Amino acid sequence: MPEEALLVINPCADLPPLLARGEWRLSQARTLAVAEEKLRHGDYPLVLVVINPVENEALRALIAQHPNRLWIGLVERDQLANEALRNLLAACFHDFHTFPLDAERLCHSLGHALGMARLIGDHRSASSGKVRLIQGQSEPIVQLRAQMMRLQHCRLPVLVTGPSGTGKELVARELHYGTFGEEAPFVAVNCGAMPHQLIQSELFGHVKGAFTGAQTHKIGKIEAADGGTLFLDEIGELPLEDQVTLLRFLQEQCIEMVGSHTSRSVDVRVVAATNIDVEQAVAQGRFREDLYYRLNVVRLRTPALRDRRDDVQLLANEILAEVRGSRPLTFSHQARQAMQAYGWPGNVRELRNRVQRAAVMCAGPCIEAQDLELSHSESLLFDGSLKAVREAAERQALLQTLARFPDRLEEVARQLAISRATLYRLLDKHDLH
């Protein structure tokens, strides 16, 4: 076997002599921080970790940042009684061994893992379009990712449901890349943002002269997605009369431009998403039952961030890495605690907004809880005055609705049952512009 790089994290005394039997080029990291630096700059197909259960969450975050490696764990046998550790091993590790180590078994395991790492590397090179957009290692995300993997080789319609800000479009894009790769078109349509009078034209296109202002021939979103994926976001906001024409397209896989009498067949995989209770909307007559059954062939649910707290720090670290640039910026211990305790009504979208704002506004090398505007909101809830509790609830309602409808202040005002003028006043009051 040619010499290969192997990173050992938290090495113990008997490991180097044991691994010397193979032709490994060893590199050792005595802390996770050192390991992160080595992984960022080095080429290590395999990582061997002597697991300390105290570091479970930090280790999970490190593994998520480096999904291209295969990880093998070394644990004390009695540590396997720890449920969190067992979950970590099941979700993140290719293999694990217990002390005292069996040298022959360990060397065989490493050799097999190296072969797997090479196959995975070759597969990724051959299918680079199959990217991973949904980040996380929590149980709900592991289950979601497993469901998505089973959909890669089919083109059935998919309905993605879940709270606003949980990444429904990312699910649609990952499904698309997994099935079609990067070359095929992915066309996203926000059904709640299109003016009612233009929906037909936007979806199906129009011919020149079809209506006042139609000065050119224009293809619609459905035709633009031919051979790929059409993502219908906020499908629950589509007016009933337009749901009829969409249903006809789904049944016949044909489109007819506005102003034309010629139909054209298209090959489009439809992924729809909504944050409303679709079954309730059907029962209330706000959503067509026949369209619901056409779209709901396969159902995927994106979990709220409060249901995947194991991923909060991992996601925060990734967002911070994107926005901090060259600044040596990190989260303080208090900030991490505040993020873990917070309910995240706006889900991942709210987490991204808070981290981005904090990265810009914080003065020192550490982002504090107050930079994330978490300590302030929590103190308001518990300072004892009725006025403070009301203001905290008011601010929370604004944050949650703004996260659901970004850049749509008219819809925010409608959801909160207030006027636009009142909304602007409240945004000024709570410094949320």
Report which of residues 57 and 371 the model is more confident about: 371
pLDDT tens for each residue of 149-204: 888 778 889 999 998 889 999 999 999 988 888 888 999 998 888 877 778 888 88
Give whichever of 107-111, 262-266, 376-380, 400-404 has the largest mean pLDDT. Answer: 262-266
Q: How confident is the model at residue 20 (pLDDT cuts 50, 70, 90)?
A: low
Residue 129: pLDDT over 50: no
Would you identify the CATH topology of the domain 306-382? Helicase, Ruva Protein; domain 3 (1.10.8)
Residue 27: pLDDT over 60: yes
Q: Are strands 70-76 and 263-265 parallel, antiparallel or unpaired?
A: unpaired
Q: Which helix (H) or strand (E) holds 380?
A: helix 375-381
Report the pLDDT value the prediction gives residue 204, as an integer from 0 to 100. 86
Report the pLDDT value the prediction gives residue 210, as an integer from 0 to 100. 64
The DSSP code sequence of 141-164 is HHHHHHHHHHTTT----EEEE--T
Report the pLDDT value the prediction gives residue 39, as an integer from 0 to 100. 86
Q: Give me the chain's average pLDDT, please.
A: 82
Residue 4: pLDDT over 90: no
Q: Cβ(35)–Cβ(71) under 8 Å? A: no
Average pLDDT value for residue range 220-235: 91
Indicate the CATH number of 139-301 among 3.40.50.300, 2.60.40.10, 3.30.380.10, 3.40.1360.10.
Answer: 3.40.50.300
Alpha-carbon distance 347 to 352, whole Å? 9
Instruction: Tell me whether domains 4-126 and 139-301 share a fold.
Output: yes
Q: Out of 49-53, 106-110, 265-269, which region has the weakest mean confidence (pLDDT)?
A: 106-110
Report the pLDDT value the prediction gives residue 385, as an integer from 0 to 100. 56
pLDDT tens for each residue of 293-315: 999 999 999 999 988 988 998 89
Q: Quote the DSSP letter at residue 47.
A: E
Residue 19: pLDDT over 80: no
Q: How confident is the model at residue 131 (pLDDT cuts 50, 70, 90)?
A: low
Report the pLDDT value the prediction gives residue 127, as an integer from 0 to 100. 43
Q: How confident is the model at residue 384 (pLDDT cuts 50, 70, 90)?
A: very low
Give whichever of 14-18, 81-85, 227-231 has the largest mean pLDDT. Answer: 227-231
Measure the CA dihedral 141/142/144/146, to 10°: 160
Name the residue type at position 405. Answer: F
Q: Which helix (H) or strand (E) holds 120?
A: helix 103-126
pLDDT tens for each residue of 386-430: 666 677 778 778 887 887 777 688 888 888 889 888 888 888 787
Kindly list the domain boundaries of the chain, sorted by start residue: 4-126, 139-301, 306-382
Would you identify the CATH topology of the domain 4-126? Rossmann fold (3.40.50)
Residue 346: pLDDT over 80: yes
Report the pLDDT value the prediction gives residue 149, as an integer from 0 to 100. 86
